[in-house]
Amino acid sequence: MTTRAVRAAGLALLHGVALAGLGLAGAVSLLVHLAFFVPGFGLGLIFLLPLPILAGRHLTNLVRRLAGDGSGSGDGSGMPLGSPYRPRPGPPQPEADGRYPHDNRLYRRPWVPAFLRLMDWLLGDPASYRDLGWMITTPLVGTLLGGLPVALVAAGGWYAASNASRHWWAVPAGLAAAVAGLAVAPWLRTLHLRWTRWWLGPTQRQPGRLRVWYAHQLLLLLRLLSLLGLSLAALPLAALSAVALLLTYGVGIVVVLPPVIQNIRWLPELRRRLAGQWSGVTVDSPYLPRPEVPQRRPDGRYQVGNHLYQTERWAAYGLRLRWLTRDRASWRDFGWLLLDPVVGGLSLAAPLGAIGYGIFGLAMPRLWMLVGLRADGGTDWYGSVAGSDAAAIPVGLALAALGLLAAPAVLRFNGRWAALLLAPTAKSRLALRVQRLTETRADATESQAAELRRIERDLHDGAQARLVAMGINLGNVEYLLDRDPQAARALLAEARQASAKALTELRDLVRGIHPPVLAERGLADAVRALALDTTVRTEVTVELPGRPEPPIESAAYFAVSELLTNAVKHARAARITVHLGYADGRLRIVVADDGRGGADEARGSGLHGISRRLGTFDGVVDLSSPPGGPTTVILEVPCALSSPRTSIS
Amino acid sequence: MRVVLAEDLYLLRDGLSRMLTAHGFDVVAAVETGPELLAALLELRPDVAVVDVRLPPTQTDEGLQAALAARREVPGLPVLVLSQHVEQLYARELLADGTGGVGYLLKDRVFNAEQFVDAVRRVAGGGMAMDPDVIAKLLARSSRDAPVARLTSREREVLELMAEGRSNSAIGQRLFLSESAVGKHTASIFGKLDLSPSDDDNRRVLAVLAYLQRQG
């Protein structure tokens, strides 16, 4: 054995000590993770989640760097491991109006979207979970691989030194163990390196089916766990509600009720959303929209229901109370808060309990007992079934499997349970519908009245005035005909011009009321005609099996017209496409351009106008226009199509 | 010259009929509806038809449809279409078959009897009469493209009048130019738009219109 080899073995030994130490550090990091994750996932305190992940990365990065040090092993694997993490997202960029977008929402301050980006970055990175896997396994595997050589050397030395006087063979045996420790050190180190790379190195591996299944089960359990946490979170809210109700109806302190009703709504709202996202049960929000304070009566008071209020402030207060307490959804929320910890909580706890007890209560303790880690079962609770130790492992595993099998059904049940009390009742659905119809009807009548006023004004100032002028002119012509034929001729030419102008004005007016080409050809050709009149290259594709009702055709036509104008004027598009289609009883129009985007329904009154106009027919406008483009607007209007017009030729 | 007239409003039908008669046309039929028009066109085979786009019984574009149907039966049957509004869509459909003898004018153009009668004669002779509004819209779309943008303003004026269907001499009269000067301008326009020149007025107009529509 050359000195070089001894030195390498010694270095490997030291390295092993360091690795063993890191293994213990991994255990500490794992405990920290658990301390933050349990409330983070279990109670929904998600702001706790990034802290341990970020802190843990310092440790794993240190391990990656160490994997590159002490490269005396000569196996060419001494390079530091590359970072497997996805690049950290930059700070959120504000839009033109100074608000910050994230997903489908705008935020006034940057820190909320910044935090959400951080969460997406950390929790969406598979490397985070592999770090976690490393932390779980390293206390055992890492410590063993790193510490075994040192332990052998140390134990050999100690055995030789302490037993040399008693047995003659103690010294050679101790030395042999120490040499064996030195000999296996480089080999174990390589093994450790491989193992570390497997967990912490950069990877392009496709997850195997088992891993996918495992991730799926894990996600399922995490969802059940989160829902359980939310069910328990309902308890304090239920207590709060009970106190508020008691104060209101028992003592008469009404003031507390409205804020309580409003401020507990976040939990039912969250559960409605989760029911849709996790359980696949769509639960709409049932709350009635907040009414507006009524107009002042002639006697100066405000009427809310049967009450009269002197000041607007008290009227608003009374209105709020009435709005919240008359809403059936408020009472159903109360009921749900009271019942969910029992119904939802127990149903969620059952599969989680079965899995937890099956594995950690029966199978694992029994396994430990088999390898002698625990001398006796202690109580029946751990590691035995009805006094029988042998049954513990199969029964425990079966219990866990049963829990896993039941988990999807329990998740679905949870969604249905939420829908049962949290979904809008037929009555509140109707109320919401009435509210919507009232709004759109008001919009429709208002815009119709405005339209009529505009037509009246245009006729009054335009064609009507010109016809009067023409009449006067013709009277003058009559008078001048014999006296001054020359002047009469000039006036006649003027009258003709005036009539031409009046016609042009009337033509424009007619176009604004109901375009002739729409009346003559229907929506498809009218949109084609619009495209031809647009100065930007515009392509129209049509898949309409028939014609919508005339009012819908008209609304759709003006909407497309407005959108084309926007695309040319504001987006400065070079190319526009328009598609007219019909599916599932809805007319669907897609207008897309390659312009600079940045359109906003809240600011562009044109888009708002379209929204209102189509709202009369229960139509919706969907706008997608990121800064820099492209802009896509989708209009959808439920309607029936008439059979296509038969050609007359 | 034998004319078939289709117009559903009595006042306008009567006025047009009188004007055409006064200018030496022979109005062989003045009809009110689309089916009547189609029958008259196919039976009487007039030298030219003056047709309102919108006709009973549907009050849609029945006049235009009847005219197009008749031209499918009798290729090149001269038709002058009148309307309260002009649409490029309709102009394209009228020009689609690539034969001449087509006119498409706003009803307002009837006010100027001389020009209107001139347009009817041109169409009857297999020529074109496109409304200035149609041409203006075509040019508005095309002018973003490089070749049309390269034209001088005088050349644009000539192009507009040419696209309306006017002859070199008529263009010269309009712009106070000699016929040979107009000829030079047209040659230059054809060069810039990369179109092969043609002595035949009618084919020339079709080439220009086809070019402008292609740009759209």
Percent of chain A with pLDDT over 70: 91
CA distance B213 to A535: 12
- β-pairing, A302-304 vs A307-309, is antiparallel
Structural domains for chain B = 2-130 (3.40.50.2300), 134-215 (1.10.10.10)
Cα dihedral sign, A343-A349-A351-A354: negative
| Residue A139, in any domain of the structure | yes
* pLDDT score for A70: 47
A167, part of any domain:
yes
Q: What is the mean pLDDT of residues A73-85?
A: 61
**Residue B173, token pair as written in the block:** 């009269």
Same domain for A14 and A81?
A: yes
Asked whether residue A349 falls in the same domain as residue A367, the answer is: yes
Chain B residues in contact with A504 (beta carbon < 8 A): 108
Proportion of chain B above pLDDT 70, given as a percent: 96
| Cα torsion angle, A359, A365, A370, A376, sign | negative
Which residues of chain B neighbour A503 with C-beta distances below 8 Å?
107-108
Separation between Cα atoms, residue A340 and residue A416, nearest integer Å? 12
Residues of chain A in contact with residue B61, where contact means CB-CB under 8 angstroms, are 520-521
Question: For residue range B62-95, what is the model confidence (pLDDT) as tens digits?
Answer: 999 999 999 999 988 999 999 988 888 898 888 8
Determine the structural domain holding residue A440 and report its residue range. 436-512
Q: Under an 8 A CB cutoff, do B84 and A532 touch?
A: no
**Are the CB atoms for B29 and B4 separated by under 8 Å?**
yes
From the list A635, A593, A634, the residue with the least C-alpha distance to A614 is A635
Three-class SS state of B83: strand
Domain assignment present for A604: yes
A61 lies in the same domain as A173: yes
Count residue pairs from A and B with Cβ separation < 8 A: 59
Whether residue A26 sits in one domain with residue A135: yes
Q: Are residues A545 and A627 in the same domain?
A: yes
Closest C-alpha among A575, A622, A620, A621 to residue A596: A575
**CB-CB: which of A520, A647, A649 is closest to B54?**
A520
CB A134 within 8 A of CB A22: no
Say yes or no: A152 and A256 in one domain.
Answer: no
Residue A137: alpha-carbon gap to chain centroid: 33
User: What CATH number does residue A597 fall under?
Assistant: 3.30.565.10
Chain B residues close to A520, C-beta within 8 Å? 53-54, 60-61
Do residues A40 and A163 share a domain?
yes
Each residue's pLDDT tens digit, A300-328: 888 888 888 888 888 888 888 888 888 88
Q: Which residues of A touch B216 (CB under 8 A)?
A: 532, 537
| Residue B22 φ then ψ, to 5° | -60, -30
State the Cα torsion A592-A593-A598-A599 to the nearest 10°.
Answer: -60
Of A435-449, A473-487, B197-211, which gets the smallest average pLDDT?
Answer: B197-211
| Mutate: best of B72, B89, B141, partner A, most A CBs <10 A | B89
pLDDT band at A381 (very low <50, low <70, confident <90, very high): low
For chain A, percent of residues with pLDDT exceeding 90:
14
Check CB contact under 8 Å for B108 and A500: yes
Is B60–A521 a contact, with Cβ atoms under 8 angstroms apart? yes
A517 vs chain B: nearest CA distance in angstroms? 8
- In the numeric block, the tokens 């009258």 are attached to A495
Confidence (pLDDT) at A336? 92
Write down the pLDDT at residue B146.
65
Q: How many domains does chain A have?
A: 4
pLDDT value at residue A293: 81
Find the helix packing angle between A485-513 and A426-461, rounded to 10°.
170
User: Is residue A188 domain-shared with residue A257, that is, in the same domain?
Assistant: no
For residues A167 and A103, what is the distance between their CA atoms, to the nearest angstrom? 75
Question: At A591, is the secondary structure helix, strand, or coil?
Answer: strand
- Terminal-to-terminal C-alpha distance of chain B: 37
Local structure of residue A434 (DSSP, 8 states): H
Chain B residues whose CB is inside 8 A of the A647 CB are 65
Q: Per the domain annotation, does A645 fall within a domain?
A: no
Instruction: Single out the residue in A512, A535, A553 at which a domain terminates.
Output: A512
**pLDDT single digits (tens) B114-151:** 889 999 999 999 888 999 988 888 887 776 666 777 88
Q: For A543-582, give the secondary structure using H, E and C.
A: ECCCECCHHHHHHHHHHHHHHHHHHHHCCCCCEEEEEEEE
Domain boundary among A156, A173, A205: A205
Q: Are residues A141 and A230 in the same domain?
A: no
Query: Scanning every residue of chain A, which has its alpha carbon at the shortest distance from the alpha carbon of B71?
Result: A649
User: A447 pLDDT exceeds 70?
Assistant: yes
In the predicted structure, residue A645 carries a pLDDT above the cut 70: no
Tell me: do A507 and A526 sit in the same domain: no
> Which of B34, B62, B85 is nearest residue A516 as measured by Cβ atoms?
B85
Q: What is the mean pLDDT of residues A434-462?
A: 88
Helix axes B153-164, B132-142, angle to 10 degrees: 130
pLDDT confidence band for A92 (50 / 70 / 90):
confident
Q: Which residues of B touch A521 (CB under 8 A)?
A: 60-61, 89
A150 lies in some domain = yes
Option in A520, A529, A535 nearest B60 (CB):
A520
Token pair listed for A176? 């042999």
pLDDT for position A73: 42
Q: What burial class does residue A377 get, using C-beta atoms within 10 Å of its C-beta: 0-12 exposed, 13-18 middle, 19+ buried?
A: middle
Residue whose C-alpha is closest to residue A226's, from A42, A352, A355: A42
- Residue whose structure tokens are 């390293």: A138
**What number of residues does chain B have?**
216
| Residue A545 domain-assigned (yes or no) | yes
* Mean confidence (pLDDT) of chain A: 83
- Cβ pair A649:B53 closer than 8 A: no
Please give the ipTM for the structure prediction: 0.85
The pLDDT assigned to B51 comes to 95
- Residue A551 inside a domain? The answer is yes
Q: Which residues contact A318 (CB under 8 A, 6 or more apart)?
A: A304, A305, A307, A309
The pLDDT assigned to A597 comes to 82
Q: How far apart are CA A201 and CA A212, in angstroms?
A: 20
In this structure, what are the phi and psi dihedrals at residue B3, rounded to the nearest 5 degrees?
A: -120, 140
